[in-house]
Amino acid sequence: MKVAVYPGSFDPITNGHLDVLKRAASLFNIVYIAVARNLQKSTMFTTEERLEMIRGCTTQYENVRLDSFDGLVVDYARQVGAEVIIRGLRALSDFDYEFQMALMNRHLEKKIDTVFLMPHEDYTFLSSSVVRELVKFGGDISGFVPTNVEAALLKKIRR
C-alpha cells in the first residue's frame, strides 16, 4: 500500500494543483491532500474555506483523502503512514525552494521521500497569488480554477 501526502497552502486550489493531484492519484494507492493551517504567509481563505473548495472539486477520486495539518509536514506524513511527499515543479524557479525543503524533510525523516510531479505546461505560469490578483482586478480566471473555486473567489471579493 503506497500512501502519499500532497501538502500545500492551496489558497485557493488551482487547475495546476489538480493536474498534479490527478497524476499522484494514478501513482499511489492513497493520496492525502493536506492543507497547511499555520502558514508563514497570510491567506485569503480560512483553512475551512480552503478545505471546502478542495472538497468541491475532488469528489471523483476514490483514493484521495482531504485533511489539514499543523506543524511539520513529515510529522503529519508519519501520522497517516505516508512514505512519500508530493510536490509540483512548474519551472526552474521552483527548484531551489523545493530542493531545500525536500532535503530538510529527508533530514528530519529519512524514510520519507519527496516525489516531484510536473503539471501540464499550460499551468507553468499559474499560481494561487496570480489567481487572487486577477480576480481582484476583474480578470478572467475561468481556465485557471474549477468552477466552485471561481464562485468562492468572486463571493470573497464582493464581500
Binding residues for ligand COA, rule: CB under 6 A, are 7-11, 14, 16-17, 20, 36, 72-73, 88, 90, 101, 104-105, 119, 123, 126-129
Residues labelled catalytic = 17, 41, 90, 128
Task: Supply 63's cell numbers.
Answer: 483514493
Beta carbon of residue 12, minimum distance to ligand COA (angstroms, whole number): 9
Beta carbon of residue 112, minimum distance to ligand COA (angstroms, whole number): 11
**Residue with Cβ nearer ligand COA (1 or 143):** 143
Task: Supply 117's cell numbers.
Answer: 510531479
Q: What are phi and psi of 77, to 5 degrees?
A: -60, -45
Strands (E), 11-139: 30-36, 64-69, 84-88, 113-117
Beta carbon of residue 158, minimum distance to ligand COA (angstroms, whole number): 21
Task: Supply 34's cell numbers.
Answer: 493536506
